[in-house]
Amino acid sequence: MIHALADLVMTTPPPLMVVIVFALTYFMVGLPVHFTRGAGYRDVLGTMAGVFAALVYIALAVDSHANVH
């Protein structure tokens, strides 16, 4: 299963993968925060988490692409 996920991540276009990672992280962090602290915190913390996760994905993609060549 891990190999299938890795193949999916590596074959998906990077801009699409960044959007998917951002959206998943935003919802995973934003929804619980929305119910516990409110909409304002959801927007701030969800966006921060999404941006951080997208940046981590970009760094990993650039690193793995550099290792391939």
DSSP state of 54: H
Which tens digits make up the pLDDT trace of 25-47? 999 999 999 999 999 999 999 99
Is residue 61 within 8 Å of residue 17, measured between CB atoms? Answer: yes
Higher per-residue confidence, 60 vs 48 = 48
pLDDT of 32: 92
For the cut 60, the answer to whether the pLDDT of residue 69 exceeds it is no
CA gap 37, 29 in Å, rounded: 12
Q: What pLDDT, on a 0 to 100 scale, did the predictor assign at position 9? A: 77
* pTM over 0.85, yes/no: no
Q: How many CB atoms lie within 10 A of CB 45?
A: 17
